[in-house]
Structure 1
C-alpha cells in the first residue's frame, strides 16, 4: 500500500511496461460478494487505448462496456475471492474490430493487479497458418483428384522425351499401367513415328524458347478409336530459371469439333428459315435490341430496306417508344416470358404519316447458355381484317359472314384425327363430330388424299408437325390450293391430346409459280435468239441448261448436257487449264473468264471462244446458281496473233538498234578518251620542259588545263556507265545491305580518314537484287555525302531502314541522311536529272551523272528514290526497294 500511496513513482514504473496494467479494488454487493471492481490505476497503454483520462474510481464494467459479453469479469472475481492467480485468453471489442488479449490477474493484499497483452496478430497468424496447412492439404487432395479425375490427358516429359508422369486418363487411352508407361518414350507408348518426331521437336522448342507450344492432332484412342485432340506443352522451371521438365495437357475436342460443325449448320438453317418463312420475321440481339436478321416480308411491311440491319429497332421505329407493344418487347427480353397476342394496335410511321396498324404478334426470347441474348419477333399485319371486323361487328351474322369469306381456316382435332371442329365456326367445310374420316373426303381433293393420309399417319407416329399443300373442292366445284399446318399438343407425359391446325389459301401463290415458270420459258426463248452460247449451272458448278446455240454448234441433242458433254468438246490442249480454272472459280465463288477452243460438229474444226460466268447469290450472299456465256472470238484471235508476230519483229529491230547504240557508246568513249590522254601527256612533257621557268599565273593556267582534262575523262566514263545501265542485265541474288555498306566503308577508307567522316548503320535488311547495282547505288550516295561535306565539319552519314506493306508486298524503306551542305527544296525536282549540277564545278568535282544512275538502279529494282534537303543543314535520300524481285534478271 505504500507503493500505491506513492502514485507518481508507481505510475512511472507502470507506464514503462509494453503491455496494459491495471490495479483494481473489489466492489461488494449487500452480501459481501465481489460484483465489480473500482479502477485505482491504469498505465499509459490502457489509457491511450480507452481514451479516458477520468477513469479513476469508475467501475471496471462501466469503462469496458463490452466486458459483460465475455467471462473476463468472472475470471477477475474468482481470483479476487480465491486468491488463485488466473491466466487466460479472451477476445474483446466490437464485432467488426475485435482484439485478442492474454490476461493475468494476481491478488496482492486487497487489490487486484491485472496485466493484458495484445496477441491479436499472433492469433491471426496462427489461424492463417492452420488455414494454410488445411488448404495445402486440401489442395494436394484436389490436385490428385483433378489430375486423375479429369478426362483431359495430363503428362510430364523429361528433356530426353521420356514420360515422367501420366494421369489416369492418359494411361486408359494407352491401355497401360503406370509401371508399363512411365520412363518410356513416345514411340514405346504407341505413338506413330511422325507423331513422336513432331512432339520431340515441340519439346525442344519449349526448352529453347522457354515458351508454351500449342497444337491440334488426331490419333487413335485404345477404346474410342481415332479422336481429335487439342494439346499444349509448357516449360517447368527450376530455381535457376532453366527448363527442367516439360508438362503437357491434351483435351479431346472431337465432340466440340462436331458440335461446332452442327452449330454452324444449325445457324445456317436458322438463317434460311428466317428468310424463307412466309410471315414477317426479325431477330433482335443484345441489350440494345439490334436488328441482326430480318426477312423480306418484314422489310416490306415496315417500308425499309436492308440498310436497317445492324441498327437498333427503336432507332428504326422511334414512334414505338412508350407504346404497349414496346413495353412487351422489353418484358420479353428482360424477363424471358414469351408474348403472343393478336390484333395489337401499333401506331407507327410506315408511309411518311403516323397511322394505326394492327398486328398478330409473337415474341420469343433467344436463350443461349441459360441467358437471354435476344429475341425473335413475328408480326403479321391484320389491319384490314381488324378494320373490316370492326365495321362488320354490329351483328353476329355479319361476323360469321366475314369468317366465311376468309380463306384462312383454324381448327382442332382429337388425338387420332377422327373428330374435326372448326374453331371459327365455319360450317361450309367442317364441324364434323361423327367418328371416321368422312371430313377428309370433304376437305382434301381425292388426288391428294392418299399422300395426306400417309403424312397424317407419319405425324401421329412421330408426334411431328403435319405440313402439306393440297387442293380442296369448293361448293361451286372449283378447286383451290391451301397450305395446311397442324401442330400436335402434348401433355406432360409427351402424349398427344389434340391437334391444332391452320389452312391458308395459296391459290394466288400457285398462280404466281405458274407465272414464274412461264417467265423461265420466255427466258429460254430469248436465249435461243442470241448468237452466243448461254448456259446456267447449279451452285456446285454442274451445268443444267444450254440454249439452242450450244446444240447447233456441238451436235448434241437437248437431253445431253452437263460436265461430260462440254469437256469432250474442248480441244485436248485446253481441257486441263479450263477445268482447273472453272472448278477453282466454283470453289472460291468468284467470276470465271477464260479462252478455249470448241469443236464444231458440222465442220470438225476447233474455234476460239471467250467464256464468262458470274455467280448468282441470294440475299444472304450464298451462291444459288451460275450464269455464263461463250462468245466466238476466232477471228479476233487470229488478228491478235498477227499483231503479236508484228510486235516480236519490231522488238527484234529495237534490240538490234540498241546493240548498235551500245557498240557506238563503247567506240565513242574510246575515241573521246584518246585525245584527252594526249592532252594530259603533252601537258606533262611541257611542264617538265619548262620547269622552273613558269611564273605563278602560268602554273595556275596549266593546273586548270589538268583539272579540265580530268573532268572530261570522268565525264566520258560517266556517259558510258549511264548508257550501259539499261543494256546490261544483272542476275538477282540475296543481298545483305549490311555487307554492302561495310564494303563501301572499306573502299572509301582514305576519303573517310581525310575528312574524319563516319558512317552509322545497323540492322539493314536482306533483300533480292543485283549486288553490283545496289553497291553502285549506295556508293554514289555515300561518296556524295563525303564530297559535299561542309568545311571544317566532319561528314556524318546515317543509314536506317524500316519495313512496310504496299499492296500485299514487303517493301524496305532505307534512309540515307548526312550533315553536309544540303540543297534548297526548290531544287528537289532537278537533282536526279542527267548532267545536273547544283554546285560550282570548280569547287566540287563530279559529272552530274551519279544521282541519275542511282535513280535508274532503284527503278530497275522496282523501287524509287526521293530526296529532300535544307541548305547548310544536310540532305536526306529515301530509297524504297522490294524484298523480293518478280524477275530473276534486272
Structure 2
C-alpha cells in the first residue's frame, strides 16, 4: 500500500473515504488503522474482527486494551519503531499469541506496518495489513513433523532390520518365513547352508524346489494350512539331510504372522538341530538300562549276601551260645556239689569263669540283635516316647532305686517308628547313664525335646551328670565293640551305642554325642514325627 498524505483532517474527501473504507472492508487481508502513540483503533475490517475474535466495539480503543496479551510480545515495539522512523516494516510468518475464549492460541501472520505520514514525514499512525496463515503454517508443521516421524520410523525400521539380520545371520538355528502359497520369502544363512543354496536360488521357491521330499513338503504344507486356519503355532520333529553334515534331526515350530486386521499374512518358522541331544538321550537311556540292570543284579547279590549273613549270625550265635551255656551250667553245678571241698582260689576261678561266660552270652545276644536289625521290615507306627520312658523306668526300677537316680522329662513327642527298636534305643542310653554314674554323685538324667526347622523331625536331648568322656571320643563311642573303660571297671559288650546309632539311622534319623570328663554326657537323637518324613 502506498504512503498516505493526511494534509486534511479526513485525509480524503468523504466520497473517496467511503470508497476506500468499502475497499478495506472487502479486502481478504485483515486491516486495522492505529492512531497516535496509544495506537487507538480507528478502523478495522471484517477479516480483522474474525482473526482477533472481536467485533466493532473495539473501534476507538487502544490496541493494548483490546489485546493486552500483546504487551510482552514484539509488536508494540515494532509499531513504535515504524512511528518514530516513518519506515514501513514487513515480516513473513510471524507468530502471535492471542487469547481466544480465555485460552492462549498461537496465530501466524504475514504482515506489513505502513506509517500514516503527516507533513515533514512525521507519522500520526500505522496501517496494519496482515494475512492469517495459521492453517497453512500448522499444516506445514504437521507435515514436517510427520516427515520427521516417518524418517525416524524408517530409521528405526532399518535399525531393527539390521539387528534382526545380524541375529538371524549369527544364530545356528534355522529361521525362515513362508507366504500363504508355501513360498519362502525369507531364509537365514544357517538354513541356506543346510540346503547348500544361495538366497537368489531359494527366494520365492516352494519346499519341493529346494530339496524337500514329497512326503516332507506335503506334511509342512498341511501344517502351514493348520497355522493359518487356527492362528496357533504347531511344533514337530523331523529328519532332513544337511548339505555337508548328512542326516540330522530337527525340532521345528511354525507360528502365525498376524497383521493389523487380525489376519494371518505369513507363517514364520524356527528350526533347531537336536541331533546331538537325541544321541545323548539315546546314550543316556542305554546307560540307564545298563545301570538299572546292574543295580538289580547288585541288589539281588546283596540280598543273598544279607540272607547268608543272617543265617550265619543265627547259626554262629546258636553254636557259640551252646558251649557257653554248658560252661555256665557245669560251673554252677561244681559250685553247688563241691563248694565245701574247693579251696578259696578255686572258688575265685569259678566265679571269674561264670562272669566271663555271662559276658560272652550278653555279647552273643548283642551281635545277634545288631545283625538282625536289617533282617526284615519292622512294623512302623506312632510311638509315644512318654510311654517308652515309663516302661524303661519300670524295667530299670531296681538299679534306679539302688543308685537313688532321678530321671526327669517333660512332655515328649510321639514319633513314627518301630516301638521295639525305639524302646531298645532309649533303654541302652538310660542304662548307660546309670552304669557310668560318678561315684558318690546322685545320677540325674534329663530328657527334653524340640522340633526341627522343617517341622517333620523331633530332636530329643538326653543329658546326664555321669563320668562323661572327652570330646575326641564323641564319634568313636558309636563304633561296634568300642569300650572307653576296662571290663573290670564297667561291664558291657561295646555294642550298646552302636545299636543306638543303627536304630536311629534305620528311622532316617541320627544320633550325636558330646561330653566332658567328670561332668557328664549329652546325646541328641533326631527321629521322624510322621510316616511321610520317615
Q: Is 1:648 matched up with 2:296?
A: yes
1:51-62 matches, cutoff 5 A:
none
1:258 paired residue number:
none
Indicate which of 636, 643, 646 corresponds to 2:284: 636
Name the structure, 1 or 2, with higher relative contact order (CA <8 Å, separation 6+).
2
1:863 paired residue number:
509
Query: CA separation of 1:413/1:856 partners in 2, compared to 1, >3 Å: closer, same or farther?
Result: farther
Indicate which of 560, 565, 582 corresponds to 2:234: 565
1:556 paired residue number:
220
Contact 2:96 2:106 in 1 (8 A): no
Query: What secondary structure sits across from 2:452 in the alignment?
Result: strand
Deviation at 1:849, TM superposition (A): 0.3
Contact 1:862 1:882 in 2 (8 A): yes
Deviation at 1:856, TM superposition (A): 1.2
2:462 paired residue number:
816
Query: What secondary structure sits across from 2:416 in the alignment?
Result: strand
2:438 paired residue number:
790
Hey, what's the Cα distance between the residues in 2 that align with 1:802 and 1:654? 38
Deviation at 1:520, TM superposition (A): 4.3
2:89 paired residue number:
none
2:422 paired residue number:
774
Indicate which of 754, 763, 779 corresponds to 2:411: 763
Query: CA separation of 1:727/1:599 partners in 2, compared to 1, >3 Å: closer, same or farther?
Result: farther
Deviation at 1:563, TM superposition (A): 6.9
1:444 paired residue number:
143
Indicate which of 147, 151, 154 corresponds to 1:471: 147
Deviation at 1:646, TM superposition (A): 2.4
Indicate which of 364, 370, 373 corresponds to 1:722: 370
Contact 1:413 1:421 in 2 (8 A): no
1:227-242 matches, cutoff 5 A:
none
Contact 1:810 1:882 in 2 (8 A): yes
Hey, what's the Cα distance between the residues in 2 that align with 1:773 and 1:759? 21
Hey, what's the Cα distance between the residues in 2 that align with 1:838 and 1:826? 12
1:68-217 matches, cutoff 5 A:
none
Hey, what's the Cα distance between the residues in 2 that align with 1:864 and 1:770? 15
1:121 paired residue number:
none
Deviation at 1:886, TM superposition (A): 4.5
Q: What does the per-residue CA deviation read over 1:33-64, in whole Å, with 9 as the maximum and x for residues that have no partner?
A: xxxxxxxxxxxxxxxxxxxxxxxxxxxxxxxx
Deviation at 1:636, TM superposition (A): 2.9
Query: What secondary structure sits across from 2:476 in the alignment?
Result: coil
Q: What does the per-residue CA deviation read over 1:163-214, in whole Å, with 9 as the maximum and x for residues that have no partner?
A: xxxxxxxxxxxxxxxxxxxxxxxxxxxxxxxxxxxxxxxxxxxxxxxxxxxx
Q: Is 1:740 matched up with 2:388?
A: yes
2:150 paired residue number:
481
Query: What TM-score does the superposition give when structure 2 sets the normalisation length?
Result: 0.56
Deviation at 1:642, TM superposition (A): 2.9
Hey, what's the Cα distance between the residues in 2 that align with 1:873 and 1:610? 70
Query: CA separation of 1:521/1:866 partners in 2, compared to 1, >3 Å: closer, same or farther?
Result: closer
Deviation at 1:628, TM superposition (A): 9.8
Q: Is 1:707 matched up with 2:355?
A: yes
Deviation at 1:676, TM superposition (A): 0.5
Indicate which of 463, 468, 479 corresponds to 1:833: 479
Query: CA separation of 1:795/1:634 partners in 2, compared to 1, >3 Å: closer, same or farther?
Result: same
Hey, what's the Cα distance between the residues in 2 that align with 1:886 and 1:730? 16
Query: CA separation of 1:608/1:520 partners in 2, compared to 1, >3 Å: closer, same or farther?
Result: closer
Contact 2:478 2:498 in 1 (8 A): yes
1:518 paired residue number:
165
2:519 paired residue number:
873
Query: What secondary structure sits across from 1:526 in the alignment?
Result: coil
Q: What does the per-residue CA deviation read over 1:506-526, in whole Å, with 9 as the maximum and x for residues that have no partner?
A: 664443223223234325x63
Query: What secondary structure sits across from 1:822 in the alignment?
Result: coil
Q: What does the per-residue CA deviation read over 1:292-334, in whole Å, with 9 as the maximum and x for residues that have no partner?
A: xxxxxxxxxxxxxxxxxxxxxxxxxxxxxxxxxxxxxxxxxxx
Contact 1:764 1:801 in 2 (8 A): yes
Query: What TM-score does the superposition give when structure 1 sets the normalisation length?
Result: 0.35
Q: Give 5+ residue unaligned stretches, structure 1.
A: 1-409, 423-431, 446-468, 473-479, 483-504, 530-546, 570-597, 612-626
Hey, what's the Cα distance between the residues in 1 that align with 2:389 and 2:457? 19
Query: CA separation of 1:848/1:610 partners in 2, compared to 1, >3 Å: closer, same or farther?
Result: farther
1:317-466 matches, cutoff 5 A:
433-434=132-133, 436=135, 440=139, 443-444=142-143
Q: What does the per-residue CA deviation read over 1:547-584, in whole Å, with 9 as the maximum and x for residues that have no partner?
A: 979x9999435746697734xx6xxxxxxxxxxxxxxx
Hey, what's the Cα distance between the residues in 2 that align with 1:511 and 1:441? 26
Query: CA separation of 1:679/1:887 partners in 2, compared to 1, >3 Å: closer, same or farther?
Result: same
Indicate which of 829, 839, 844 corresponds to 2:490: 844
Deviation at 1:778, TM superposition (A): 0.8
Deviation at 1:859, TM superposition (A): 2.0
Query: What secondary structure sits across from 1:556 in the alignment?
Result: helix
Q: How many residues were matched structurally?
A: 348
Deviation at 1:880, TM superposition (A): 2.3
Hey, what's the Cα distance between the residues in 2 that align with 1:769 and 1:520? 61
CA RMSD of aligned residues (A): 4.1
Indicate which of 305, 309, 314 corresponds to 1:657: 305
Q: What does the per-residue CA deviation read over 1:633-676, in whole Å, with 9 as the maximum and x for residues that have no partner?
A: 23432332232122212211211111111111111111111111
Hey, what's the Cα distance between the residues in 2 that align with 1:442 and 1:667? 108
Query: What secondary structure sits across from 1:444 in the alignment?
Result: helix
Query: What secondary structure sits across from 1:764 in the alignment?
Result: coil
Contact 1:762 1:800 in 2 (8 A): yes
1:185 paired residue number:
none
Hey, what's the Cα distance between the residues in 2 that align with 1:821 and 1:677? 34
Hey, what's the Cα distance between the residues in 2 that align with 1:413 and 1:820? 103
Q: Give 5+ residue unaligned stretches, structure 2.
A: 1-94, 110-130, 176-189, 195-206, 242-247, 253-270
Q: Which has the higher helix share?
A: 2
Deviation at 1:726, TM superposition (A): 2.8
Query: What secondary structure sits across from 1:838 in the alignment?
Result: coil
Hey, what's the Cα distance between the residues in 2 that align with 1:413 and 1:628? 66
Contact 2:457 2:533 in 1 (8 A): no
Hey, what's the Cα distance between the residues in 2 that align with 1:651 and 1:759? 44
Query: What secondary structure sits across from 1:721 in the alignment?
Result: helix
Query: What secondary structure sits across from 1:481 in the alignment?
Result: helix
Query: CA separation of 1:414/1:757 partners in 2, compared to 1, >3 Å: closer, same or farther?
Result: same
Hey, what's the Cα distance between the residues in 2 that align with 1:843 and 1:419? 112
2:187 paired residue number:
none
Query: What secondary structure sits across from 2:407 in the alignment?
Result: strand
